Amino acid sequence: MIIKVCGLRDRENHQEISNLDVEMIGINLYEPSSRFIGDYRLEQIEGQLRVGVFVKASISDLKQAITEHDLDLLQLHGDEDVAYCKEAQILKPIIKVFRIDPDFDWNIISDFAFAEYILLDTKTKLFGGSGKKFDWSILDRYTLDTPFLLSGGIGPEDVVSIKNIKHPKFIGVDINSKFEISPAMKDLSLVSAFTKEIRKIES
C-alpha cells in the first residue's frame, strides 16, 4: 500500500519522515494553504516520490515547480478540466483529486481515467487538509480501472477501517492534518506508528 505524507516543509522533519516506510511526500504549492512551501526546499530522498500539490495553477507554473522542486508527480486539486489535465500529464504523471460529498456525481471521474492515480478527498471549503472524512461506504461507486488513493481526515485510529476497505483499485492513503503538531510539521511518533500498523496489515 502506498503511504503519502502531504504538506511537508521543514527539512529536518522531512528527513525524519523519510526514514520511515513512506513512498510519497507531498509538497504544497498552493499559496493560500497554511502548508504552502514558499521559499523552502526539501532534499531529494532516494526511492521516494515527490508530489507537487496544485490548485488551478498555470501550466507554466507547473513547469517551474517541476524544475525547482524536482517533482515526480503532479497532484491537481482544483476543478481542472480534461484538456488541462492531459496537458499536465505530458509534463509528469498526474494524481487527479476529486472532492467527495453525498451529492458527488461519480460519472465525472470517468473522463479522467488516463491519470496515473485518482485521489478521493472530502469536499469542504478548503482544498485538502481539512481533517474531515467522507463516508467511505460509498467507495463501491468508484468503477474505474485507475488506482485510487484515499484522503480526508485519516488519523492514527483508522488503521482497522483502512484494513476493511476491499475495493480492488484501492492502492494507498494520503495522510496530513491528523498527524500534525502544527501546519506542515508532522508528528514523527504518530506517522511511525501508523506506517508500522499499515505494514502489519499487508504482511
The CATH number linked to 72 is 3.20.20.70
Nearest C-alpha neighbor of 118 from the set 105, 109, 126: 109
Q: What is the pLDDT of residues 190-203, one digit of tens each?
A: 999 999 999 988 76
Nearest C-alpha neighbor of 175 from the set 152, 198, 159, 197: 152
DSSP code, position 141: G
Q: What is the pLDDT of residues 133-170, one digit of tens each?
A: 999 999 999 999 999 999 999 999 999 999 999 999 99
Domain range for 173 is: 2-202
Average pLDDT, the chain: 94
Q: What's the confidence (pLDDT) of residue 174?
A: 97
CA 9 to chain centre: 15
Q: What is the pLDDT of residues 23-53, one digit of tens each?
A: 999 999 999 999 999 999 999 898 899 999 9
Contacts (Cβ under 8 Å, ≥6 apart) of 118: 95, 96, 97, 98, 109, 112, 142, 144, 146, 147, 148, 149
Q: What's the confidence (pLDDT) of residue 126?
A: 63
Q: What's the confidence (pLDDT) of residue 129?
A: 53
Determine the Cα–Cα distance for residues 81 and 197; give it in Å rounded to an integer.
37
As for how many domains the chain has, the answer is 1
Q: What's the confidence (pLDDT) of residue 124?
A: 77
Cα three-residue angle 4-8-9, rounded to 5 degrees: 160
Long-range contacts of range 90-95, CB-CB < 8 Å, 24 or more positions apart?
A: 91/59, 91/62, 91/63, 91/66, 92/62, 92/66, 93/117, 95/51, 95/119, 95/149
Determine the Cα–Cα distance for residues 8 and 185; give it in Å rounded to an integer.
7
Q: What is the pLDDT of residues 81-132, one digit of tens each?
A: 999 999 999 999 999 999 999 999 999 999 999 999 999 999 876 655 556 7
DSSP code, position 44: P
130 CB neighbour count, 10 Å cutoff: 18
